Amino acid sequence: MSDPTEEILYANALNQIRELGPARFGKLRAHFGSMKHAWQAPLYELLHSGLDARVAETVVSRRKEISPEEEFTRLAQHGVEVILPSSSDYPALLHQINNAPALLYLRGNRAALNIDPSIAVVGTRKVSPYGKQAATRISSELAQAGVCVVSGLATGVDGIAHESVVSVRGTTIAVLGSGIDEGTIYPSLHRVLATRIIEGGGALISELPLFTPPLKMHFPFRNRIIAGMTQAAVIVEADERSGSLITALAALDYNREVFAVPGSIFSATSLGPNRLLMEGARPALSAKQILEDLGLQNLRAEQKAEAILPETHLEEKLLPLLSTEPVHINALIATTGLPPGDVASTLTMMELKGKVRNLGAMQYVRAR
């Protein structure tokens, strides 16, 4: 049996060669039995493994430029672990797909990779107030029920999903289309969120080596991991060209359930979910309904939200006017007759206390 550390050393080194994807890694594993033997193999053996001449010659050439030991040291310097398919920590559901990652880089909690159940919540970067509210509610309630929420750390729905889970102390995994070292995390504005995900018991993962930039071509491949490692995918909002629809199609291909949040027929970001519903996706109306449809209604009793109580006379006037339906700040000012500055400052304080949520465009709802 191969030494696990040695396997990681050489698997990581081979993964620096971008021409080697999951299928070619599979050929090397099947032929050589270990990554060390694959790394040391002469050209003719690489050809016998099933690699075509161009790729085999590239491997031989690139090996001269790569130090397995130096690459391994870089992993340790950045707090990154490597999870191989042979590891018990490798996501079990990924073994069921035909193009599973040859390895995963991880920062955070290894155990999070196999939390059962896990559900993807994804959607557009250009999220509407309605989409923000739906992503927040569904993600936080899934997390409170014990679900690991998986998404892609992108702006919009993905970031909202992660943030919502972290805010209720749930577990979430971010699958990146770049390296997971701190300086490469994309988008950069979510680097603080990435740290909070890790500190909250979640994880960042990617199949891409350290320092790999977030190239456009990486994201469709990233989306297959999100779909493959989860039992179901929830599409919140997506226009007709959104990458989250790739996640939905991959989920269907992997025989996973697909849920879609119904939206307005006049909203461009609801075109994707509405089309999925027409094609047979299940409607995502609440976390409770999603769990029931998956046969997980007995997973864990949903935590009852603590009552939101006013602490000041200004909160006493504003809280009764807020519900799950968005209310514009101008409507609150007009209804209460309070000075605009008092309303704005009170809403800000209540948001910091977790009592209300700002959906953007000065639209507010109760937090729970």
- Digit-by-digit pLDDT tens for the chain (368 residues) are 456 689 999 999 999 999 999 999 999 999 999 999 999 999 999 999 999 999 999 999 999 999 999 999 999 999 999 999 999 999 999 999 999 999 999 999 999 999 999 999 999 999 999 999 999 999 999 999 999 999 999 999 999 999 999 999 999 999 999 999 999 999 999 999 999 999 999 999 999 999 999 999 999 999 999 999 999 999 999 998 888 999 999 999 999 999 999 999 999 999 999 999 999 999 999 999 999 999 998 776 444 445 678 889 999 999 989 988 889 999 999 999 999 999 999 999 988 888 898 888 899 988 76
Whether 147 contacts 240, CB under 8 Å? no
* 101 in any annotated domain: no
Cα gap 109→100, rounded to integer Å: 20
146 lies in some domain = yes
Residue 308 in any domain: the answer is no
The verdict on 57 and 186 lying in the same domain is no
Amino acid at 51: L
Phi, psi values for residue 204, rounded to 5°: -110, 135
Q: Is residue 86 part of a domain?
A: no
**Structure confidence at residue 303 (pLDDT):** 46
148 and 279 assigned to the same domain: yes
The predicted model scores a pTM of: 0.84
| Domain co-membership, 286 together with 331 | no
Which residue among 234, 259, 293 closes a domain? 293
Q: How many domains does the chain have?
A: 3
Looking at the structure, tell me whether residues 277 and 161 fall in a common domain.
Answer: yes
pLDDT of residue 28: 98
The predicted structure's pLDDT at residue 1: 41
Residue 29 φ then ψ, to 5°: -60, -45
**Per-residue pLDDT at 300:** 61
Q: Is residue 82 part of a domain?
A: no
Please check whether residues 346 and 286 belong to one and the same domain: no
Domain ranges, residue 326: 313-366
3-state secondary structure the chain: CCCHHHHHHHHHHHHCCCCCCHHHHHHHHHHHCCHHHHHHCCHHHHHHCCCCHHHHHHHHHHHCCCCHHHHHHHHHHCCCEEECCCCCCCCHHHHHCCCCCCCEEEEECHHHHHCCCEEEEECCCCCCHHHHHHHHHHHHHHHHCCCEEEECCCCCHHHHHHHHHHHCCCCEEEECCCCCCCCCCCCHHHHHHHHHHHHCCCEEEECCCCCCCCCCCHHHHHHHHHHHCCCEEEECCCCCCCCHHHHHHHHHHCCCEEEECCCCCCCHHHHHHHHHHHCCCEECCCHHHHHHHCCCCCCCCCCCCCCCCCCCHHHHHHHHHCCCCCEEHHHHHHHHCCCHHHHHHHHHHHHHCCCEEEEECCEEEECC
CATH, residue 319? 1.10.10.10
Task: Give the per-residue pLDDT at 37.
Answer: 97
Residue 205 lies in a domain: yes
Are 170 and 69 in the same domain? no
CA-to-CA separations, 310 to 216, 314, 319, 336, in angstroms, rounded? 47, 8, 7, 15
Query: Are 37 and 147 members of one domain?
Result: no
The answer to whether residues 133 and 281 belong to one domain is yes
Q: Does residue 299 form part of some domain? A: no
Q: Are residues 276 and 318 in the same domain?
A: no
Whether 152 and 207 map to the same domain: the answer is: yes
Q: Are 320 and 289 members of one domain?
A: no
CATH number of residue 284's parent domain: 3.40.50.450
Terminal CA-to-CA distance of the chain, rounded, Å? 53
| 115 and 69 together in one domain | no
pLDDT recorded at residue 145: 96
Is 78 among the domain residues?
no
